[in-house]
Structure 1
Amino acid sequence: MKITRRNAILTAGAGAAAALLHRPSWSDVVGANEKVNVAWCGVGNRGPRIIENFEKSGIANFVAFCDVDPENKHINGTKEKFPKARIFQDWRKMLDDMDKDIDAVVVLVPDHSHFPITMAAMAAGKHVYTEKPLARTFQEIELMIGAAKRHGVATQMGNQGYSGDNHFQFKALKEAGVMNKVTHVDAYMNKWRRWHPWGDLKAMPTGETAPATMDWDLWHSTTPLHAFSKKFHPGDWRGWYQHGTGCFGDWGAHVLDSIHSFLELGMPEKISATKMVQPNDLIFPLATTINFQFPERNGLPAMDIDWYDGVDNLPPLPAEFAGRELDTKQPGKFIYAGDTVFQGGSHAHTLQALDSEKAKALEEKGIPTKFGTNSDHYENFLLACRGDEETRSPFSVSGPLSQVLALGCLAQRLGGELLFDRETKQITNNAAANALLKDTPRKGWEQYYAL
């Protein structure tokens, strides 16, 4: 049998497979002013729009597109737009056949498939842009953080607001000492979306047939195989424990990213589900409130975060907010920093001090409000592939944030209070929850956990 990347991963021992895959790739010779050869995994739903965002940089050369349904309505337009790019149904074959033609891989597939694609790409020496959150389970994220460090590739998570003004503003506020007294954050996402539309489910849906052009088995990736349903695909996988991370995993990365990074939060020591509406064994609750408690860190005070999701599940409003109306259709947050309360949104939206006098005092301190022209999240990643910049949300930064999201999802799933040991990275008071920090991959997918 010919030794290829794909069958090496599938048949070799972990050490041998990693050694075979981690050989110099074409990306090792990419230099300044060169375009980055990009392979794309997942061209459904938001795929074409994100492709356009990468295209705006002017330095992405799309060499391949991969989708488990290579005839879906989204990819057909992409084929016409990039006629020279090769089309694949199986990402393993794409990585195998196009090794020397790929510098970077974009992973835009359902959450449950992030892990194996990202791990295999990094082991092959490819730079990787993976959507948020990095993966579904704490263990998978831990392995991704370690692999990124070992393989020395550029990595970026798709919390694109982290390259916007919110990032630079929060950094400036922290450096000015304004954010050194944060003791509490209320964050929320209350718009109805696709995380909980099916009521109180008792069993997985059955009775439907997958599209003839789709590889339904491959779609499951490392997770157990089950019957096809439009309640999973296209797009509605987010609300299922097996496949997604619910509202919190979907939006927490856009609301809490700067808070987690610049306040050096790391892992919480306690996570509590203080409210659960219609808990279910298969899908995320209709509404939840989760509390995260963080200890003192590097001179920063102990603090906690309350997360609210579900329609009409709103945080208490600060006294300084009196006379204003909260836009419940948009996600947001209130940050209690000493005697100053800030209100913010998601993504790149900047913070505003609610008290006008305190806002004026901050302005008089000379804290910048304009941050110049910076690369956006997509260009930042491509420039990092060329060695021109460092990514702003590498796995070393976005991984721990994603792990906090994974812990919150466990609390939403199981309820109650979870105690987390920040040193051993184990849940100490709930054996069932601790077991769910990792998944048992289905047969044939174990090797990606050993790369």
Structure 2
Amino acid sequence: MQNIKRRQFLAQAATVSAVATTLPSFALGQNVGGDKINLAVIGCSNRGGAIGSEAIKHPLTNCVALCDVVPSRANGLKKKMDGQCDDALVFDDFREMFSQMGDKIDACTIGVPDHSHFPIAMLAMSMGIDVYVEKPLAHTFEECELLIAAEKKYNVKCQMGNQGHSSEQRLQFESWVDAGIIKNVRRVDACMNNGRRWHPWGDVKDYPSAEKMPEGMNWDVWAGTAPKRAYNTKYDPGNWRGWYDYGNGAFGDWGPHTLDTVHRFLKLGLPHQVRAVSIDKPNDLIFPHGTTIAFDFKERGPDMPEMTINWYDGVKNRPPSSKDVKIGACGKAIFSDDLTFVGGTHSATLSIVGGDRLSDVKGNLPELPASETSTNHMDNFLRASAGLDPYCNSSFAVSGPLTQVFMLGCIAQRLGENLEFDAVKRQITNNARANDLLKGNAPRQGWEEYYKLA
């Protein structure tokens, strides 16, 4: 396919340039031979518009297509770009876009509701198109499993949009683990204590009744693989996050920005147990107003003993604090045998606030290493797509297992029950309904094909 050939050419060009000890012209924002990465932006408002505009403005890209279930949102993004994507074609259906232009697209950004990440990413990957998918990676444990497999099968560049994984926060955490500063961690407390969109709804008894849709909206594509219900503003725009059918609650939203480096560099993998410690205002349709859930991980090797992550969400559901340990409304505290760390989310670095080794390490912290990849997340993705960076910092091989932890947590929040998980069999062994939720709803009729592409 044309886009694969183009990527191979760019990778070869980057190698030649490196041998010549000169920067590739792409790295200088120049257009090699008139060729750029042909970009499609899928999801053009809110977060999708933010990541899409960042990609459009990048010197490596040429935006050829904009896709949104409400075409006026795509046209609105086009106007904001001041001529940078005037020639981009506008679609309201990603399937139609890929059918017409798949051989002309090299990479795409996907900034849509959680339940729609999977079919769009899977179709793009199967066509050899590189994908940037906003967090969380997918809507179910099984979808993550299939996307991890597809990344390997189709040999495409993939990035999940947890921006802190291309920042000093990642470099610091990794270097502190390597230097033995972060070791023997026994407990992590993490939280998201801001109000959520669904909190004012109270005790939801049923799905909302039909309202008038935005003009031109393709509601069938919005629903995608998930159940199709009557349009209501409690779904779109933005309110989908609170519904089990479409979103992943506060944990799926903020966990990727809070726990990514903890998960990766402490080699956590998947927990053997998830405990629903407390559930505030449980509901059969939407996420609770507050939860405390705990994840128990087995020993992983030297300096990596059994440990627990405690997650707190809900406005008043705060993790424990002390004189030294004060976590913000969104953040974490990490407790090892002899040091205590406090940090925030996204790109926020850690501070050492207590422990027996505090005075020893304070003056002996390693300098942050230079990254072999860009420390701007979108830049890293586009450079990897162009063959200029060796890998994406948050590839699906990295971000997929991380997201699966969140998916297990969301099941515990939904059911309010403790779960036993067998990581080898990939099954919840003590609760049949919970085990069924690893897959979630059966795909809607006509949308089954995406689950066969991995």
> How far did 1:193 drift?
2.5
1:430 paired residue number: 431
Counterpart pick for 1:314 among 314, 318, 321: 318
Counterpart pick for 2:449 among 441, 447, 450: 447
Describe the SS at the equivalent of 1:125. coil
The answer on 1:377 being equivalent to 2:381 is no
Bigger shift: residues 397-406 or 384-393 = 384-393
The structure-2 alpha-carbon separation of the partners of 1:125 and 1:76, relative to structure 1 and needing over 3 Å to count, comes to: closer
The answer on 1:260 being equivalent to 2:257 is no
With the length of structure 1 as denominator, give the TM-score of the two structures: 0.90
Counterpart pick for 1:103 among 92, 106, 110: 106
C-alpha distance in 2, partners of 1:326/1:363?
A: 20
Counterpart pick for 1:194 among 193, 197, 213: 197
Amino acid at match of 2:305: P
Amino acid at match of 2:387: G
Amino acid at match of 2:426: K
C-alpha distance in 1, partners of 2:60/2:266?
A: 34
Bigger shift: residues 172-181 or 159-168 = 172-181
2:337 paired residue number: 338
C-alpha distance in 1, partners of 2:355/2:418?
A: 38
Q: Is the 8 A contact 1:27 1:126 kept in 2?
A: no
> How far did 1:196 drift?
2.9
The answer on 1:165 being equivalent to 2:165 is no
Amino acid at match of 1:311: V
Q: Is the 8 A contact 2:291 2:314 kept in 1?
A: yes
Q: Is the 8 A contact 1:25 1:100 kept in 2?
A: no
2:290 paired residue number: 287
> How far did 1:360 drift?
4.8
The structure-2 alpha-carbon separation of the partners of 1:76 and 1:83, relative to structure 1 and needing over 3 Å to count, comes to: closer
C-alpha distance in 1, partners of 2:202/2:76?
A: 29
CA offsets per residue over residues 140-172 of structure 1, 9 Å max, x none?
A: 110000000111101000001110111000000
CA offsets per residue over residues 391-411 of structure 1, 9 Å max, x none?
A: 110000000000000000000
Amino acid at match of 1:354: V
The structure-2 alpha-carbon separation of the partners of 1:80 and 1:367, relative to structure 1 and needing over 3 Å to count, comes to: closer
Q: Aligned runs of 1:15-34 on 2, under 5 Å? A: 24=4, 26-31=6-11, 32=14, 33=26, 34=32
C-alpha distance in 1, partners of 2:328/2:381?
A: 32
Structure 2 spans left out of the alignment, 5+ residues:
15-25, 27-31
Describe the SS at the equivalent of 1:96. helix
Amino acid at match of 1:396: A
Describe the SS at the equivalent of 1:400. helix
The structure-2 alpha-carbon separation of the partners of 1:213 and 1:377, relative to structure 1 and needing over 3 Å to count, comes to: same
The answer on 1:239 being equivalent to 2:239 is no
> How far did 1:24 drift?
4.5
2:23 paired residue number: none
> How far did 1:255 drift?
0.1
C-alpha distance in 2, partners of 1:25/1:275?
A: 53
Amino acid at match of 2:9: V
2:22 paired residue number: none
Describe the SS at the equivalent of 2:402. helix
2:18 paired residue number: none
Bigger shift: residues 298-307 or 396-405 = 298-307
CA offsets per residue over residues 172-209 of structure 1, 9 Å max, x none?
A: 01101122210100000001132433110000001312
Describe the SS at the equivalent of 2:237. coil
Describe the SS at the equivalent of 2:190. strand
Q: Is the 8 A contact 1:275 1:289 kept in 2?
A: yes
Describe the SS at the equivalent of 2:295. strand
C-alpha distance in 2, partners of 1:175/1:161?
A: 19
> How far did 1:366 drift?
4.0
RMSD (Å), alpha carbons = 2.1
Amino acid at match of 2:409: G
Amino acid at match of 1:314: R
2:402 paired residue number: 401
Paired positions, count: 426
C-alpha distance in 1, partners of 2:183/2:246?
A: 37
The answer on 1:387 being equivalent to 2:387 is yes
Amino acid at match of 1:375: T
CA offsets per residue over residues 269-322 of structure 1, 9 Å max, x none?
A: 00011110100000000000000000001331010000000101101114533x
> How far did 1:364 drift?
2.8
Q: Is the 8 A contact 2:268 2:300 kept in 1?
A: yes
Q: Is the 8 A contact 2:137 2:144 kept in 1?
A: yes
Amino acid at match of 2:206: A
The structure-2 alpha-carbon separation of the partners of 1:25 and 1:442, relative to structure 1 and needing over 3 Å to count, comes to: farther
The answer on 1:304 being equivalent to 2:303 is no
1:224 paired residue number: 227
1:6 paired residue number: none
CA offsets per residue over residues 342-380 of structure 1, 9 Å max, x none?
A: 000000100000139855532432412575894300000
C-alpha distance in 1, partners of 2:198/2:61?
A: 33
C-alpha distance in 2, partners of 1:438/1:429?
A: 16
Bigger shift: residues 356-365 or 253-262 = 356-365
Q: Is the 8 A contact 1:26 1:100 kept in 2?
A: no
Bigger shift: residues 30-39 or 310-319 = 30-39
C-alpha distance in 2, partners of 1:370/1:403?
A: 29
C-alpha distance in 2, partners of 1:279/1:250?
A: 19
Describe the SS at the equivalent of 1:281. coil
C-alpha distance in 2, partners of 1:79/1:369?
A: 35
C-alpha distance in 2, partners of 1:399/1:435?
A: 19
C-alpha distance in 1, partners of 2:340/2:300?
A: 21
C-alpha distance in 1, partners of 2:50/2:275?
A: 37
2:187 paired residue number: 184
Amino acid at match of 2:313: D
